[in-house]
Amino acid sequence: MDNLSNYLILSAVLFSIGTIGVLVRRNIIVMFMCIELMLNAVNLTFVALSRHLGNLDGQVFVFFIMTVAAAEAAVGLAMFIAFFNNRESIDADDASLMKW
């Protein structure tokens, strides 16, 4: 119980790694994995606090997030395949037509 802060620190570290990964990497599959990492860092926070507070709401949330993440993975991978078919690339810099 006392080591709640350990969980939260681990979660913060994972979240930061994810964020930095999204910001600095150009490979969209890696960016996507970083986003998953951020989601799971949040999940870890939820579970840890749920246990700390003795309230199951946080765990229910985690189920929802995992479901959404699964759906998101399916949609995202489909988009990457479509993108690759068009550009023969998985580099985010090649998706740059949405500008002035």
Binding site for other proteins (CB under 8 A): 19, 22-23, 26, 28, 31, 92-93, 95-100
State which residue, 10 or 95, has the beta carbon closest to other proteins: 95
Smallest separation, CB 80 to other proteins (Å): 13
State which residue, 49 or 92, has the beta carbon closest to other proteins: 92
Sequence-separated (6 or more) residues with CB below 8 Å from residue 20: 34
Smallest separation, CB 59 to other proteins (Å): 25
State which residue, 63 or 87, has the beta carbon closest to other proteins: 87
Smallest separation, CB 21 to other proteins (Å): 10
Smallest separation, CB 60 to other proteins (Å): 25
SS3 39: helix
- Residue 46, CB half-sphere, CA atoms under 13 Å: how many? 17
SS3 25: coil
Sequence-separated (6 or more) residues with CB below 8 Å from residue 43: 62, 65, 66
CA distance 77 to 28: 10
